[in-house]
Amino acid sequence: MHGPTLTSNQPAVADIPRQCLTFVLAKEEYGVDILRVQEIKGFTAVTPLPNTPPHIRGVMNLRGTVVPVIDLRSRFGMPEHPYDKFTVIIVLTVGTRVVGLVVDAVSDVLEMADVGVDATPDLGAGVDTSFLRGVCRSGERLVMLLDIDQVVGLDTGR
């Protein structure tokens, strides 16, 4: 199997997952390393926690494990969107923790060997792109690869 096609100033091939689970937020596609995904659950109510940032919706009980749930729309400063029948919680492993991410909908699994991967574009000094690993090109689609450690690590302050 060949690695993804890389152009100059790109992340190393070792930094790019072999497969990504893609999902939608505000009509844009994002991807996370499929090896981090434990499961995908339909949205269920979560228990709110006091004194947490607005993007931390609360916690849920996942077979005896208390899992924090983060709303990615809120985390990325996107407009709120009512949860509907397509809203899901993607349960991921981040280091030694398990975390749930609320997203608008799941798209599909993207084979990284079949797409081009570019480095995150430089958007200027005022734009934080530290949570992105790169941008995939699949036909006319652009999928932003998330560095889930950065997304979740920045949430918890750990």
**Has residue 13 been placed in a domain?**
no
Residue in this structure with the two tokens 């797409």, named with its chain if needed: 115
Question: Structural domain tally of the chain?
Answer: 1
d(C-alpha 101, C-alpha 116), whole Å? 26
Specify the pLDDT at position 19. 86
**Has residue 10 been placed in a domain?**
no
- Of the pLDDT bands very low, low, confident and very high (cuts 50, 70, 90), residue 13 is very low
**Has residue 5 been placed in a domain?**
no
- Of the pLDDT bands very low, low, confident and very high (cuts 50, 70, 90), residue 128 is low
CA distances (Å), origin 68, targets 18, 64, 65, 82: 27, 13, 10, 20
The dihedrals phi and psi of 35, each to the nearest 5 degrees, come to -70, -15
**Residue ranges making up the domain that contains 106:** 18-156
Residue type, 109: V
Residue 56: strand, helix, or coil:
strand
The CATH number of the domain holding residue 120 is 2.40.50.180
**Has residue 7 been placed in a domain?**
no
Q: What pTM, to 2 d.p., does this model score?
A: 0.80
**Has residue 24 been placed in a domain?**
yes
Check whether 132 has a pLDDT greater than 90: no
Residue 124: strand, helix, or coil:
coil
Q: What is the mean pLDDT of residues 22-38?
A: 93
CB 13 within 8 A of CB 117: no
How far from chain centre, in Å, is Cα 21? 9
**Has residue 4 been placed in a domain?**
no
**Has residue 44 been placed in a domain?**
yes
